[in-house]
């Protein structure tokens, strides 16, 4: 009789485990684009148009260089285009946003660095539009990573200049700051780093961290077989994610 009860309990336990595994993880959709550079081809407006047709999109993300020379008119053009997006929009400054008026970006677009919560994912947006993060931002980054770990959250880092993108050559974040950030990212359990700056597409993995470069939102293309594009990311509450490249024919 005891054997029968144990067998029954085992069957019930296995059935419950199978049912739990069968439940799909909830995913948040995020659109990721970069380097529109005040384009005259209509790439960014097309991305905006397509974004409004994506079911369950939670966030629209621009990774910098939305202007060519950081003029007030260029920022106004960007704001007018992006205002048509139906979901929340976040952005970070690119090097092209740092003209003579170094604070125009903050006044006309938003903060230099910040976090954004999307489900169980913490997106940490870094300002590496200059050659150094600065002591204040560096300390803030370390606190955010520690806090995310204690909260059992998954972390994605968003930057303008990639931390690692071999085909871009030297068109990445400057050293020695880049190596310093890379080391921290790799030791903190960051899942993915999203960057732009290089006007093409790249995806690779370095020390268990996925690195993606998406610089195809309208600026002049470079590199081998470039194409205009954006990315749709599915970020699941189990820590997994999918990144789909969507080409724009312009």
Strands 27-33 vs 229-236: parallel, antiparallel or unpaired: antiparallel
Give me the residues paired with residue 157 across strands: 124, 193
Cis status, amide bond into 176, omega within 30 of 0 = yes
Q: What is the CA radius of gyration of the chain?
A: 21
Q: What's the pLDDT at 20? A: 38
* pLDDT > 70 in the chain, percent: 90
Q: Residue 114 above 90 pLDDT?
A: yes
Q: What's the pLDDT at 242? A: 97
Q: What's the pLDDT at 162? A: 98
Instruction: List, for residues 42-82, the tens digit of each pLDDT value.
Output: 999 999 999 999 999 999 999 999 999 999 999 999 999 99
Contacts of 228 (CB under 8 A, 6+ apart): 41, 43, 216, 217, 218, 221, 247, 248, 249, 250
User: Which of the pair, 24 or 63, is modelled with greater confidence?
Assistant: 63
Q: What's the pLDDT at 22? A: 45
Tell me how crowded residue 221 is: count the other CB atoms within 10 A of its CB: 16
Region 15-24: what's the mean pLDDT?
Answer: 43
Quick check: 29 and 234 in contact, CB under 8 A?
yes
Question: What pTM, to 2 d.p., does this model score?
Answer: 0.89
Tell me how crowded residue 240 is: count the other CB atoms within 10 A of its CB: 12
Region 183-188: what's the mean pLDDT?
Answer: 97
User: Which of the pair, 117 or 11, is modelled with greater confidence?
Assistant: 117
Q: Residue 5 above 90 pLDDT?
A: no
Q: What's the pLDDT at 4? A: 57
């Amino acid at each position: 009789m005891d054997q029968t009860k144990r067998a029954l309990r085992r069957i019930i336990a296995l059935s419950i485990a199978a049912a739990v595994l069968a439940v799909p993880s909830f995913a948040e959709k995020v659109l990721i684009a970069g380097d529109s550079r005040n384009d005259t081809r209509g790439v960014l407006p097309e991305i905006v148009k397509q974004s409004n047709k994506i079911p369950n999109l939670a966030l629209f993300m621009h990774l910098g260089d939305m202007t060519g020379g950081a003029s007030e008119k260029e920022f106004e053009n960007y704001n007018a285009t992006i205002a048509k997006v139906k979901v929340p929009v976040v952005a970070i400054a690119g090097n092209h946003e740092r003209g003579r008026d170094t604070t125009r970006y903050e006044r006309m677009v938003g903060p230099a660095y910040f976090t954004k919560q999307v489900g169980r994912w913490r997106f940490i947006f870094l300002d590496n539009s200059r050659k150094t993060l600065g002591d204040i931002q560096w300390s803030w980054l370390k606190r955010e990573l520690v806090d995310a770990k204690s909260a059992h959250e998954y972390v994605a880092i968003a930057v303008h200049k990639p931390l690692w993108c071999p085909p871009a050559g030297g068109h990445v974040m400057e050293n020695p700051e880049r190596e310093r950030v890379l080391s921290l990212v790799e030791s903190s359990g960051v899942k993915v780093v999203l960057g732009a700056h290089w006007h093409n597409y790249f995806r690779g993995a370095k020390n268990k961290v996925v690195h993606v470069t998406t610089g195809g939102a309208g600026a002049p293309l470079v590199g081998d077989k470039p194409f205009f594009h954006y990315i749709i990311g599915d970020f699941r509450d189990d820590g997994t994610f999918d990144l789909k490249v969507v080409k724009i024919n312009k």
